[in-house]
Amino acid sequence: MKSLLFKHRSIRKFKSTPIPEEVLADILAAAVRASTCGNMQLYSLIVTRDAALREQLSPCHFNQPMVREAPCVVTICADIHRFTMWCEQREADPAYDNFAWFLNAATDALLAAQNLAIEAEMHGLGLCYLGTTIYTAGEICRVLDLPKGVVPLTTIVLGYPDESPELTDRLPLDAVVHYEKYADYTAAEIDELWAEREESELTKQLLKENGLPNLAQIFTQRRYVRKDNLAISASYLELLKEKGFFNQ
Amino acid sequence: MKSLLFKHRSIRKFKSTPIPEEVLADILAAAVRASTCGNMQLYSLIVTRDAALREQLSPCHFNQPMVREAPCVVTICADIHRFTMWCEQREADPAYDNFAWFLNAATDALLAAQNLAIEAEMHGLGLCYLGTTIYTAGEICRVLDLPKGVVPLTTIVLGYPDESPELTDRLPLDAVVHYEKYADYTAAEIDELWAEREESELTKQLLKENGLPNLAQIFTQRRYVRKDNLAISASYLELLKEKGFFNQ
């Protein structure tokens, strides 16, 4: 029998039922059991249940209704601030205010996030990751009072599901797994790996709705546009500098 | 009863028993069920079992014996290359060669990595994440033939455990969880959060071995030294430029 991991779907509609305290405590406790660099736990999990605060976070996530509707919004942050304070209080010279430690902290944070997500699903909860977090990270810092040394990476909205969507398709496993070394793709292989998705009814419907000749152009012209990608890159790098991850 | 997530320990000693093909296939299939940005699957998983290649990877991980001893080494990579190829073959203008998409790809990759780790443990395997991956990422690219648009983020060594270590301690849950907003720490709170660890027998032993007055200085003077942190930051940023994540 396949494990629970094979049943994950993003949930975007939630019941208003709150998450019991003991369930939330268990989920958070599972998060911190994930592997962490040198056992430094370079992350913070900001658990926002207050409706007024979720309302303030909502525009940061392009007003997707789930931020208001899910009973719990968890903002996953890289955090070198706490460990740095500890070091400074012990006359130790921390030196985590640089890009390597942004990477270490982001790794810690995202592994903990996925533990949180899986434990939540074990408790019958549903969730959705919000990629919008990096688009508006500076504003999220202001809403959540994130100090220097702390930046948001992603957000999980959490609650009891009020929908039961189909499993999303994936590329064939061969698309993402390489044995021994990276085997670069031929043009024909790329065509083959995407063939099933491109021929699907869903794709046909999307092409019709968008008036575009293929699925790739829906990504590049509608979903993730060059201008936005460059603006997000610039603003997130600026934030990393402001928050002290580039003090080299 | 607590879930399997509460039982995770890093495993550094492995039996030579190979991982059965169907088990490995299941683990990899679980990895791709993790949430992914726009269902783009912006990662590659390089599964290295060949002993000669693991031997070549070994110095990239400071010759830690587990790279040679574990039957399977999985290098987790952010990958915008495959999706970019697909777009280019469809006359779509990709624009993923920037920092925002490094972040999106890294998020995808690390969520998939943690699924892989958890599914592996469900099958009775043990694993350890190797933080050394970002220290020597350029050399790993050369050993594994990673093309432009692909960078390693972390590595998982995988196999049947030949040790049964104790659960590692963690900071109190309050240390990493904030309710509603980020509540900054007072100096007294920092002292309190680290008190148990600082007073432990393990810490006392480390201080004696290292001839240092406190645990924080073991981190800053022995484990993660300023000079190394800055060198790693510079080399990884250089690699991101070389691999086309800064074409703004």
Give per-residue pLDDT as tens, A36-82.
Answer: 999 999 999 999 999 999 999 999 999 999 999 999 999 999 999 99
Q: Which two tokens stand for residue A18?
A: 């709150």
Whether the pLDDT of residue B184 is over 80: the answer is yes
What's the gap in Å between the CA of A98 and the closest CA on chain B? Answer: 6
Q: Does A52 touch chain B (CB under 8 A)?
A: no
The chain B residue lying nearest A197, using CA atoms, is B39
Establish how many alpha carbons lie within 13 A of residue B148's alpha carbon, considering only the half-sphere containing its beta carbon. Answer: 11
Establish how many alpha carbons lie within 13 A of residue B155's alpha carbon, considering only the half-sphere containing its beta carbon. Answer: 28
* Cα–Cα distance, A140 to A125 (Å, whole number): 24
Tell me what the mean pLDDT of segment B59-76 comes to.
Answer: 98
Set of chain A residues whose Cβ sits within 8 Å of the Cβ of B219: 38, 40, 87, 92
Q: Answer for the pair A217, B90: CB distance below 8 angstroms, yes or no.
A: yes
pLDDT tens string A158-177: 999 999 999 999 999 999 99
Handedness of CA B170, B172, B177, B178 (dihedral sign): negative
Whether the pLDDT of residue B1 is over 90: the answer is no
What is the structure's pLDDT at A93? Answer: 95
* Cα–Cα distance, A110 to A103 (Å, whole number): 10
Q: Does A195 touch chain B (CB under 8 A)?
A: no
Rounded (10°) angle between helices B99-122 and A226-242: 80
Tell me what the mean pLDDT of segment B101-105 comes to.
Answer: 98
The chain A residue lying nearest B150, using CA atoms, is A182
**What share of chain B in percent tops pLDDT 70?**
100
- Tell me if residue A143 falls in helix, strand or coil: helix
The chain A residue lying nearest B93, using CA atoms, is A220
Model confidence, pTM: 0.98
What's the gap in Å between the CA of B159 and the closest CA on chain A? Answer: 16
**How far from each other are the two terminal CA atoms of chain B, in whole angstroms?**
51
Q: How far is CA A197 from CA A119, A201, B26, B60, B129, in A?
A: 30, 9, 22, 38, 33
Tell me what the mean pLDDT of segment A3-9 comes to.
Answer: 97
Per-residue confidence band for A248, with pLDDT thresholds at 50, 70 and 90:
low
Q: If you average pLDDT over every residue of chain A, what do you get?
A: 97
Set of chain B residues whose Cβ sits within 8 Å of the Cβ of A103: 134, 153, 236
Q: What are phi and psi of A13, to 5 degrees?
A: -125, 130
Tell me what the mean pLDDT of segment B35-44 comes to.
Answer: 98
Per-residue confidence band for B248, with pLDDT thresholds at 50, 70 and 90:
low
Strands laid side by side in the B43-48 sheet = A177-179, B43-48, B72-79, B150-159, B126-130
CB atoms closer than 10 angstroms to residue B45: 23
pLDDT tens string A19-28: 999 999 999 9
Strands B43-48 and A177-179: parallel
Q: Answer for the pair A31, A117: CB distance below 8 angstroms, yes or no.
A: no
- Tell me if residue B199 falls in helix, strand or coil: coil
* Cα–Cα distance, A240 to A242 (Å, whole number): 5
pLDDT tens string B14-37: 999 999 999 999 999 999 999 999
* Cα–Cα distance, A26 to A47 (Å, whole number): 13
Q: Answer for the pair B128, A158: CB distance below 8 angstroms, yes or no.
A: no
Whether the pLDDT of residue A130 is over 70: the answer is yes
